[in-house]
C-alpha cells in the first residue's frame, strides 16, 4: 500500500474556509495542523519537529508569522503551497487595507509577503480577481499561481428549509471595525434600512471597540445587530433571510455571500471585484456607495421569486466543496511528486 503524502497545515485562525480545507487534507492525505500566529520563536521546537515529519507545508496565509516556518521548510527541502486570499495581496490605501499599500510604512509588510511568495512552490488564488491582485501587487512568476475557488458546502441546508417561504428579511454578515465599516459597505446597509422601514435588516458579526462607536447612535429601528454569532446561528439567519447584501468596495471572494446564496438568499452586491464572479447572473448589482440604487435593488430582490434558487444552483455548480477538494488534491499530488 502506497504511503500517504504527509501534509502540515499551517494556519493562524480557524475560519470556516480554513476548517474545510483541513478536512479535505485529512480525508486525502496524512494531515496535521499547526496554529501559528504570535510568539513564533517560542514554538520553534514544535515547528521544526512538525516540519521534519512532513512532506509538504500547506500554509493558509502569507503574513509575517509564516516566514520563519516556511524558511525552515525550504532549508529542509520540503514542498510549500501558500494560499493568498486576503489582506496580504491587497493595496487599498483609501480604506487603510492591505499589506501591499505603497510607502515606507508598509515596506516591511510588503517584504514579508514577497519573501513568502518566493519560498512557495505554488500559490493558490481563491478567485480570478484575487489572482489579478497577486499578479499586479506581488508580481510572482505566473506559473506559480493556481486558481482554485473556495468550496461552499450546500448540504448544510436541508431541502425543507429551501422550500419554505422567506419573509422580508435582509441580511449582511461582517465584522464591524473602523477599517471595515466603509470598505464592507456596512454604512450603506444601515442607510438603506432607513428607506425600508417595513423590512427587517440584520447585521451579524463581531464588533470591536471602534466599531461600536459607529453603531451606537441614531440607528434605524428596523435594524437588528446580533454581534458575534455561531455557525449554527448564522445558518439560521441564512435560512430566514430573503435577501443578502454585500455592497463592499473590495472583496477577494465573499464567503458569507456564497454561503447565503447556498441557502437561496438573493444577492444584492456592488458591481466590483470578486463579487461579480461569485454572483454572476443570479443577483442584483449596485454601484459602490450609492444608497438609492442599493435600496432599489433590495426592493426588487424582495419581490423576486426566482433568483434565490438560481443563486443556490450557481453555488452548487461553480463553487462546490467537491470541486475544491478535487483541485486541491490534484495540486498537492503534483507538487509533492515533482522532482522526486
Query: Do 11 and 144 sit in the same domain of this protein?
Result: yes
Tens digit of each residue's pLDDT (9 = 90 or more) over 182-206: 999 999 999 999 999 999 999 999 9
Q: Are 168 and 302 in contact (CB under 8 A)?
A: yes
Strand partners, 31: 7
Query: Do 203 and 222 sit in the same domain of this protein?
Result: yes
Q: Are 95 and 250 in contact (CB under 8 A)?
A: yes
Query: Do 13 and 106 sit in the same domain of this protein?
Result: yes
- Helical pair 307-318 and 255-262, crossing angle rounded to 10 deg: 120
Q: Are 242 and 265 in contact (CB under 8 A)?
A: yes
Question: Is the per-residue pLDDT at 163 higher than 70?
Answer: no
How far is it, in rounded angstroms, from Cα 258 to Cα 178? Answer: 24
Tens digit of each residue's pLDDT (9 = 90 or more) over 33-83: 999 877 787 889 999 999 999 999 999 999 889 999 999 999 999 999 999
pLDDT of residue 43: 86
Classified as helix, coil or strand, 272 is: coil
| Per-residue cell: 168 | 422580508
Task: Provide the CA 264 distance to its chain's centre, in angstroms.
Answer: 19
Tens digit of each residue's pLDDT (9 = 90 or more) over 248-293: 999 999 999 999 999 999 999 999 999 999 999 999 999 999 999 9
Looking at 129-143, 159-173, 174-188, which range is the least confident one? 159-173
Question: Is the per-residue pLDDT at 125 higher than 60?
Answer: yes
Between 41 and 130, name the one with better pLDDT.
130
Backbone angles phi, psi at 155, to 5 degrees: -85, 0
Query: Do 42 and 102 sit in the same domain of this protein?
Result: yes
Residue 326 lies in a domain: yes
Classified as helix, coil or strand, 68 is: helix
Listed in sequence order, the residues at least 6 apart from 104 whose beta carbon sits closer than 8 Å to its beta carbon are none
Question: Is the per-residue pLDDT at 88 higher than 60?
Answer: yes
Residue 1 lies in a domain: no
pLDDT of residue 183: 93
- Measure Cα distances from 296 to 169, 192, 245, 282 in Å: 15, 9, 12, 16
Total number of domains in the chain: 2
Q: What is the domain extent for residue 60?
A: 6-151+320-337
Q: Are 297 and 268 in contact (CB under 8 A)?
A: yes
Query: Do 169 and 252 sit in the same domain of this protein?
Result: yes
Query: Do 218 and 88 sit in the same domain of this protein?
Result: no
Query: Do 120 and 241 sit in the same domain of this protein?
Result: no
- Residue 335's Cβ-side half-sphere holds a number of Cα atoms within 13 Å equal to 28
pLDDT level of residue 120 (50, 70, 90 thresholds): very high
- Measure Cα distances from 163 to 97, 200, 217, 219 in Å: 40, 21, 38, 33
Residue 11 lies in a domain: yes
Q: What is the CATH number of the domain that holds 203?
A: 3.40.50.2000
Query: Do 268 and 333 sit in the same domain of this protein?
Result: no
Strand partners, 284: 268
Tens digit of each residue's pLDDT (9 = 90 or more) over 280-337: 999 999 999 999 999 999 999 999 999 999 999 999 999 999 999 999 999 999 999 8
Query: Do 180 and 287 sit in the same domain of this protein?
Result: yes
Query: Do 197 and 313 sit in the same domain of this protein?
Result: yes
Amino acid at each position: 500500500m502506497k504511503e500517504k503524502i504527509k501534509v502540515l497545515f499551517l494556519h493562524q485562525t480557524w475560519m470556516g474556509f480554513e476548517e474545510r480545507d483541513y478536512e479535505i487534507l485529512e480525508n486525502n492525505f496524512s494531515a496535521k495542523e499547526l496554529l501559528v500566529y504570535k510568539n513564533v520563536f517560542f514554538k520553534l521546537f514544535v515547528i521544526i519537529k512538525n516540519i521534519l515529519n512532513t512532506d509538504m507545508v500547506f500554509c493558509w496565509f502569507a503574513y509575517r508569522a509564516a516566514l520563519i516556518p516556511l524558511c525552515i521548510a525550504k532549508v529542509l527541502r520540503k514542498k510549500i503551497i501558500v494560499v493568498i486570499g486576503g489582506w496580504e495581496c491587497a493595496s487599498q490605501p483609501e480604506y487603510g487595507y492591505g499589506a501591499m499599500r505603497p510607502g515606507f510604512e508598509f515596506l516591511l509588510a510588503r517584504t514579508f509577503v514577497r519573501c513568502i511568495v518566493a519560498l512557495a512552490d505554488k500559490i493558490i488564488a481563491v478567485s480570478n480577481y484575487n489572482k489579478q491582485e497577486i499578479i499586479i501587487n506581488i508580481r510572482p512568476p505566473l506559473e506559480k499561481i493556481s486558481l482554485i475557488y473556495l468550496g461552499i458546502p450546500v448540504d448544510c441546508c436541508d431541502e425543507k428549509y429551501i422550500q419554505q417561504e422567506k419573509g422580508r428579511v435582509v441580511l449582511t454578515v461582517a465584522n464591524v471595525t473602523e477599517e471595515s465599516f466603509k470598505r464592507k459597505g456596512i454604512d450603506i446597509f444601515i442607510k438603506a434600512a432607513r428607506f425600508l422601514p417595513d423590512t427587517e435588516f440584520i447585521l451579524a458579526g463581531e464588533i470591536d471597540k471602534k466599531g461600536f462607536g459607529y453603531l451606537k447612535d441614531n440607528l434605524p429601528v428596523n435594524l437588528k445587530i446580533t454581534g458575534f454569532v455561531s455557525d449554527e446561528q448564522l445558518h439560521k439567519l441564512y435560512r430566514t433571510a430573503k435577501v443578502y447584501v454585500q455592497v463592499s468596495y473590495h472583496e477577494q471572494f465573499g464567503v458569507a455571500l456564497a454561503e447565503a446564496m447556498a441557502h437561496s438568499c438573493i444577492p444584492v452586491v456592488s458591481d466590483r471585484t470578486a463579487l461579480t464572479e461569485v454572483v454572476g447572473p443570479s443577483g442584483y448589482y449596485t454601484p459602490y456607495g450609492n444608497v438609492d440604487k442599493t435600496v432599489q435593488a433590495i426592493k426588487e430582490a424582495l419581490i423576486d421569486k426566482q433568483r434565490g434558487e438560481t443563486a443556490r444552483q450557481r453555488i452548487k455548480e461553480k463553487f462546490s466543496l467537491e470541486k475544491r477538494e478535487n483541485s486541491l488534491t490534484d495540486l498537492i499530488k503534483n507538487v509533492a511528486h515533482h522532482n522526486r
